[in-house]
Structure 1
Amino acid sequence: MDGKATAAAVRGEVAAEVARLVDAHGETARPGLAVVIVGERKDSQTYVRAKRRACEEVGISSFGFELPEETTQEALQDVVRELNARQDVHGILVQLPLPEHIDDEKVLDGIEIGKDVDGFHPLNIGRLCMSGRTPPLFVPCTPKGCVELMDRYGVDVEGKNVVVIGRSNIVGLPLAMLLLHRNATVTICHSRTRDTSAKVKEADIVVAACGIPKFVDKSWLKKDAVVVDVGINAVDDPSKKRGYRLVGDVDYEGAAEVASFITPVPGGVGPMTIAMLLTNTVEACKRHLPAK
Structure 2
Amino acid sequence: MKYIKPCKSIFLAIDVILVSVLVNMVTLVIGNYINTYTIIVFFKVFLVVFNLYQIYYLLKCITLKYYYDEDNLYITAFNGLKKVSIPFKEMDMYQKSEGEINGIKLSGYGKNKFAFGIFFVENIGTTNMYCTSTENVIYIKIKEMIYAISPENVKEIEDKLRSLNIPFEHWAYQKNKRLNLGKDRHFMIPFVIVTIVILAMTIVPFIFYWKDMLPAKMPLSFDAKFNPIVYGTAKGFAFKQMMYGAYNMIILFCMYYVSYFYSKYSRKLAYKYIYISLIISSVFFIIQIRILQLF
TM class, shorter-length: under 0.3
- TM-score, length-scaled by structure 1: 0.25
Superposition TM-score, scaled by structure 2 size = 0.24
Q: Which of structures 1 and 2 has the bigger CA Rg?
A: 2
Instruction: Tell me which protein shows more helix as a share of its residues.
Output: 2
More strand by share: 2
